[in-house]
Amino acid sequence: MSDKFDVVVIGSGPAGYVAAIRAAQLGLKTACVEKWQNSEGKGVNGGTCLNVGCIPSKALLDSSYKYHEAKDDFKVHGISTKGIEIDVPSMIQRKDNIVKQLTGGISSLFKANGVTSIFGTGKLLANRKVEVTGHDGKTKTLEADNVILASGSKPIDIPVAKIDNDVIVDSTGALEFDSVPKRLGVIGAGVIGLELGSVWNRLGSDVVVLEAMDKFLSIMDQQIAKETQKILTKQGLDIRLSCRVTGSEVKGKEVTVTFTDKDGKEQKETFDKLIVCVGRRPYTEGLLAEDSGVNLDERGFIYVNDLCATGAPGVWAVGDVVRGPMLAHKGSEEGVMVAERIAGQKTVMNYDVVPNVIYTHPEVASVGRTEEQIKADGEPYNVGTFPFAASGRAMAANETGGLVKIIAHADTDRILGAHIVGPSAADLVQQVAIAMEFGSSAEDLGLMVFGHPTLSEAVHEAALAVHGHAIHVANKKKR
């Protein structure tokens, strides 16, 4: 095998593996370099998302939700359950099996598409050369016409709560507990804190979430954030805002966390486990030789233009390691764009329509701008909302918490954003994302025929409500 490629991708997470597959589909001779090793020391593709992120967390979210439903929610449907028990090691094993299946699937897709999979640590040298240090310590150099950097991100660690992978863990460690902690502390009420806090709360932990900001989910639409906070608090998550962690002390199998509360007073709480999830940062350690020609921005992300090109000719970067939301699907689409650009196509990506989901139950999902952002932008707008409490389908499923909110421009009626907390919010928001991609107005969405009875009708009704035309709820404004 020659070590000269049309494209070498460094990193096989959702950004990198998708870029590699698309490049190979387009007839480009492609290699993908990955340094991840599984617990047996074997190279494995898939990156954070498949190994320790999106997929395993969803496996545990689903398992823990089934337990919660069987224990607490079946009664209302006339189903009695007795002696419901959880077997945490089996739950973790099921999650591990899913990870194994999916990561193995990437390797099969590489084979099917003719991508050369290389395990080892890739480093970009000058002139599009990539040095690969294998897991056996041997190095070799690949040459490429184009290099795509997709090295991802890693959890931010804070000195006041150092990860020991026993009592204090990050998002990876929180997927591996072998029993349910009695008291669980979570630092950071962000996406990871709420998802993992929910898993262990459902399985029986007393969960306290300490959040430094004074607003809950501060970057989300605040009407939806407030509703979400109400719902999650009712589920038992003890969410404490304006609480900044200032220290922690591990004694045996417990950790005492010190934090300042909303009144500036010092407080202490003791937990059996503590999850630190205060954000992620781009992962570039050891990735770039000094003369690679690639620059980082002031926050440590690889600097790229709108087309994901770096300052070095023929070197591109995609996914969590570049600006924009750290979302798998954003990285994948960047990977497709770059592969197609390399192949000479004119692909662009629409960063204005990237959906965002928190996989709590109910899910929280959004696309486009929030009401706060639109207000700050000084644009006139109309809002339509529809509560799931008024949806027949939601009632049938006993899932009536939450609402759909659609915001449209007051002059053009073009949809500017959709924000949902409620059953299947992730799938519902995608309907509005599709509409937005096609430049739809709220009226367009209102004119469509939606199946009955479906949860999607809540999207229809919210679009109608933008002009005061909702049928199944009293309109705030009549026209």
Ligand X SMILES: NC(=O)c1ccc[n+]([C@@H]2O[C@H](COP(=O)([O-])OP(=O)(O)OC[C@H]3O[C@@H](n4cnc5c(N)ncnc54)[C@H](O)[C@@H]3O)[C@@H](O)[C@H]2O)c1
Of the candidates 189, 220, 342, 349, which one interacts with ligand X according to CB under 6 A? 189
Marked catalytic residue, from 452, 467, 469, 472 = 452
Q: Is 331 annotated as a binding residue?
A: no
Residue of minimal Cβ distance to ligand X: 190
Residue 341 dihedral angles phi and psi, to the nearest 5°: -60, -45
Nearer to ligand X, 301 or 381 (CB): 301
Q: Is 269 annotated as a binding residue?
A: no
Question: In sequence order, which residues have a C-beta less than 8 Å from that of residue 137 and are 6 or more positions away?
Answer: none
Tokens 């190279």, residue located: 43
Convert residues 321-360 into a mask of x (bound to ligand X by CB under 6 A) and - (unbound): ----xxx-----------------------------xxx-
Residue 188 in the binding site for ligand X (CB under 6 A): yes
Residue 401 dihedral angles phi and psi, to the nearest 5°: -75, 145
For residue 451, the tally of other CB atoms under 10 A from its CB is: 9
- From 174-182, 192-200, 310-318, 366-374, give the range in contact with ligand X by CB under 6 A: 192-200
Beta pairing partners, 116: 31
182-187-188-192 Cα dihedral, nearest 10 degrees: -50
Residue 190 in the binding site for ligand X (CB under 6 A): yes
3-state secondary structure of 252: coil
Least distance to ligand X from the beta carbon of 192, Å? Answer: 3
Q: Is 327 annotated as a binding residue?
A: yes
Q: Is 1 annotated as a binding residue?
A: no
Residue 163 in the binding site for ligand X (CB under 6 A): no
Interface residues for ligand X in 259-298 (CB under 6 A)?
277-280
Please indicate whether residue 361 is annotated as part of the active site.
no
Nearer to ligand X, 432 or 463 (CB): 432
Tokens 């929280």, residue located: 364
Which stretch of DSSP H or E encloses residue 437? helix 425-437
Nearer to ligand X, 129 or 240 (CB): 240
- Residue count at the site for ligand X (CB under 6 A)? 25
Nearer to ligand X, 92 or 326 (CB): 326
| Size of the chain in residues | 479
Of the candidates 21, 32, 115, 192, which one interacts with ligand X according to CB under 6 A? 192
CA distance 304 to 331: 13
CA distances, 398 to each of 12, 75, 203 (Å)? 40, 11, 21
Convert residues 18-57 into a mask of x (bound to ligand X by CB under 6 A) and - (unbound): ----------------------------------------
Q: Give the CA count within 13 Å in the CB-facing half-sphere of 163.
A: 16
- From 17-25, 80-88, 182-190, 414-422, give the range in contact with ligand X by CB under 6 A: 182-190
Contact present, 326 and 320 (Cβ < 8 Å): yes
Residue 255 in the binding site for ligand X (CB under 6 A): no
Nearer to ligand X, 57 or 431 (CB): 57
- Give the pairing type, strands 363-368 and 168-169: unpaired
3-state secondary structure of 61: helix
Residue 210 in the binding site for ligand X (CB under 6 A): yes
Nearer to ligand X, 22 or 280 (CB): 280
CA distance 314 to 307: 12
Which stretch of DSSP H or E encloses residue 341? helix 328-342
Residue 244 in the binding site for ligand X (CB under 6 A): yes
Tell me, rounded to whole angstroms, the distance of Cα 205 from its chain centroid.
Answer: 23
Instruction: Give the interface with ligand X as residue ranges (CB under 6 A).
Output: 158, 187-193, 195, 210-213, 244-245, 277-280, 325-327, 357-359
* Residues recognised as catalytic: 452
Known binding-site positions for FAD: 58, 122, 320, 326-329
